[in-house]
C-alpha cells in the first residue's frame, strides 16, 4: 500500500485528537495523508500538530488564494485514493448527504471522484436522531463507506453509540477501502440469499416474516464492488438489484433452494435470507373460506434448510466459505454458536432481532457478532451498508488466505 494516500477531513468533535494517532498509524502502514481541518476541527487540534504528522500543508479555507495557487480544492479532492472524514460530525454528514459545498471540507467531498469513508462521532441522541439516520441512509445509497461509531462513554457524560471508532479500526477500514479499488474478489463466484420467503396457503394468503432483505442486498452489492461475480437469490422484497449483481427472484423456500443450487459452484455462500422454516402442508388453488373453518387449523410441514444443505455438500462441491445468519431474540451468541456447529457453516453471523436490538428486522442498523472456528468478534452497531462493506472485506481476506479454488 506504500503508494496509496488519503485525504483526511477532520471535523469538529472532541474525538478530533484521535486523528493524530490515525495519521501516525497510516504512516506506519505506508499510507500517506493530506489533511483538511474544518474551522470547528481547528478548535480541537491545531494545524501545526496535524501538519507535523502529515508532513504537508494543512488545508483549512475554501477561499485561500495561496493554497489555490499551490493546489486547487478540486485537485486536492482528487489527488488521493480515498477521502476519509474523521470525525464525521452530524453536521458534516448532513452537508454531504445534501450536497452542500459552502466550505473546503464539504466542497472536497462533493468534488472528489474517489470513494468517501466516514467515521462518525457525535452525541448518542444526535446519532440516533431520525435526521442523522436519514442522512446516513442517503450517503449509503450514494455509495459512501462507514466505520463505527462505537458504543461507550462519551465526553458529554452520556453512554451509547457515537464514539469515534478506534484509530486501528479506522486504519483497517481504510485498508479495506483501498484494496477495494484493487477489486480483490475479481473472478470469484459468490452466492447470497436475501429476504423472506412467502409460503402460499391459497391464492391470496401466505406465511412469511418481516425480513426486508436490506442486509443481504447490501452484502451482495459490497461483494460485487470488490469484483465478485455475485448471484443474489432473493425472496419477495421491495428493493432493486444492486449494481453488477445477477438477481434471481423467488417466492418459496423450495424455489430458493433450487435457485441456490443452480448458482453453484461458488467459492463463498452468504445465506442471509430469513427462510420460512415451515410451509402450509396443503396449498389450495381456491381461496379458503373462513366460514367453513378452513383457517382455524393450518397443518404445517418443514421446509428444506438451504444453508444446511449447501454446507453439507461433499468436498469439492461445498463452497469453501459458508456463512450463515442467526437472528435471535435471546441468548443470541450462545444459540448462534450451536447453530454454527449443527449447520456446518464456517462463520455464523449472529444478530439480536429483539425490540432492544436496534429493530434489526426491516431497520437500517445492525449490530453483529461473527462466530468462526477461532472465536467471536463483535462489531459495534452500524448502518447495514457499513456491515456489508466490512463483511465483504473480511470475506475477501479469508478467500485470499484460502487461495483460489478454481
Q: Binding residues for ligand C5P, per CB under 6 A?
A: 193, 253, 271, 273, 275, 277, 303, 305-307, 324-326, 339
Asked whether the bond before 145 is cis by omega within 30 degrees of 0, the reply is: no
Q: Which is nearer to ligand C5P, 10 or 273 (CB)?
A: 273
Q: Is 156 a catalytic site residue? A: yes
Least Å from the CB of residue 258 to ligand C5P = 13
Vertex 365: Cα angle to 274 and 211 (nearest 5): 20
Least Å from the CB of residue 370 to ligand C5P = 13
Q: What share of the chain is helix, strand, coil (3-state, %, to 5)?
A: 35, 25, 40
Handedness of CA 169, 175, 177, 180 (dihedral sign): negative
Of 156, 268, 272, 345, the active-site residue reads 156
Which residues are paired to 59 by β-bridges? 36
Q: Which is nearer to ligand C5P, 350 or 365 (CB)?
A: 350
Alpha carbon 323 to its chain centroid, in Å, reads 15
Q: Which is nearer to ligand C5P, 49 or 344 (CB)?
A: 344
Quote the CA–CA distance of 189 and 56 in Å, as a whole number. 42
Q: How many CB atoms are located within 10 Å of the residue 351 CB? A: 22
Least Å from the CB of residue 239 to ligand C5P = 17
Least Å from the CB of residue 326 to ligand C5P = 5
Q: Which is nearer to ligand C5P, 80 or 245 (CB)?
A: 245
Which residues are paired to 120 by β-bridges? 88
Q: Which is nearer to ligand C5P, 15 or 326 (CB)?
A: 326
Least Å from the CB of residue 218 to ligand C5P = 15
Among candidate residues 249, 232, 214, the one with its CA nearest the CA of residue 141: 214
Among candidate residues 338, 340, 373, 334, the one with its CA nearest the CA of residue 352: 334
Least Å from the CB of residue 391 to ligand C5P = 13
HSE toward the beta carbon, residue 55, CA cutoff 13 A: 8
Least Å from the CB of residue 184 to ligand C5P = 24
Are 251 and 238 within 8 A, CB to CB? no
Are 84 and 117 within 8 A, CB to CB? yes
Which residues are paired to 231 by β-bridges? 191, 246
User: Cell numbers of 161, please?
Assistant: 453509540
Least Å from the CB of residue 230 to ligand C5P = 16
DSSP state of 274: B
Give the DSSP per-residue string, 336-372: HHHHHHHHT-SEEEEEE-STTTTTTTTSSEE-EEEE-
Quote the CA–CA distance of 113 and 130 in Å, as a whole number. 28
Q: Which is nearer to ligand C5P, 193 or 231 (CB)?
A: 193
Residue 167's SS3 state is helix
Q: How many CB atoms are located within 10 Å of the residue 114 CB? A: 16
Q: Which is nearer to ligand C5P, 326 or 382 (CB)?
A: 326
Quote the CA–CA distance of 318 and 267 in Å, as a whole number. 8
Q: Which residues are catalytic?
A: 156
Amino acid at each position: 500500500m506504500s503508494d496509496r494516500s488519503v485525504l483526511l477531513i477532520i471535523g469538529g468533535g472532541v474525538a478530533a485528537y484521535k486523528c493524530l494517532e490515525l495519521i501516525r498509524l497510516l504512516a506506519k502502514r505506508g499510507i500517506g495523508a493530506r489533511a483538511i481541518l474544518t474551522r470547528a476541527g481547528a478548535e480541537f487540534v491545531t494545524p501545526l500538530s496535524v501538519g507535523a504528522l502529515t508532513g504537508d500543508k494543512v488545508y483549512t479555507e475554501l477561499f485561500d488564494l495561496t493554497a489555490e495557487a499551490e493546489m486547487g480544492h478540486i485537485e486536492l479532492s482528487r489527488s488521493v485514493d480515498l477521502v476519509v472524514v474523521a470525525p464525521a460530525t452530524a453536521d458534516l454528514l448532513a452537508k454531504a448527504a445534501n450536497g452542500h459545498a459552502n466550505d473546503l471540507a464539504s466542497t472536497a467531498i462533493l468534488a472528489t471522484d474517489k470513494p468517501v469513508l466516514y467515521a462518525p462521532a457525535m452525541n448518542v441522541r444526535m446519532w440516533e436522531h431520525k435526521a442523522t439516520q436519514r442522512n446516513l441512509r442517503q450517503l449509503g445509497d450514494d455509495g459512501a463507506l462507514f466505520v463505527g461509531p462505537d458504543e461507550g462513554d462519551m465526553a458529554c457524560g452520556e453512554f451509547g453509540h457515537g464514539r469515534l471508532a478506534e484509530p486501528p479500526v479506522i486504519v483497517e477500514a481504510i485498508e479495506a477501502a483501498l484494496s477495494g479499488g484493487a477489486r480483490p474478489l475479481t473472478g470469484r463466484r459468490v452466492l447470497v440469499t436475501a429476504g423472506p420467503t412467502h409460503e402460499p396457503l391459497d391464492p391470496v394468503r401466505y406465511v412469511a416474516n418481516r425480513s426486508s432483505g436490506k442486509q443481504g442486498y447490501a452484502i451482495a452489492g459490497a461483494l460485487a464492488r470488490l469484483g465478485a461475480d455475485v448471484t443474489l437469490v432473493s425472496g419477495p422484497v421491495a428493493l432493486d438489484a444492486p449494481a453488477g449483481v445477477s438477481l434471481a427472484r423467488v417466492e418459496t423456500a423450495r424455489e430458493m433452494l433450487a435457485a441456490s443450487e443452480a448458482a453453484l459452484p461458488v467459492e463463498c455462500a452468504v445465506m442471509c435470507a430469513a427462510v420460512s422454516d415451515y410451509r402450509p402442508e396443503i396449498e389450495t388453488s381456491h381461496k379458503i373460506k373462513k366460514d367453513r373453518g378452513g383457517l382455524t387449523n393450518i397443518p404445517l410441514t418443514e421446509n428444506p434448510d438451504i444453508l444446511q444443505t449447501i454446507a453439507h455438500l461433499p468436498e469439492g462441491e461445498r463452497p469453501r466459505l459458508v456463512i450463515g445468519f442467526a437472528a435471535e431474540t435471546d441468548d443470541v451468541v450462545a444459540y448462534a454458536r450451536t447453530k454454527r456447529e449443527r449447520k456446518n457453516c464456517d462463520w455464523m453471523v449472529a444478530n439480536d432481532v429483539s425490540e432492544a436490538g436496534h429493530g434489526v428486522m426491516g431497520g437500517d442498523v445492525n449490530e453483529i457478532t461473527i462466530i468462526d472456528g477461532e472465536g467471536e468478534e463483535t462489531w459495534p452497531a452500524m448502518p447495514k451498508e457499513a456491515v456489508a462493506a466490512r463483511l465483504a472485506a473480511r470475506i475477501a481476506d479469508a478467500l485470499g488466505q484460502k487461495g483460489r479454488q478454481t
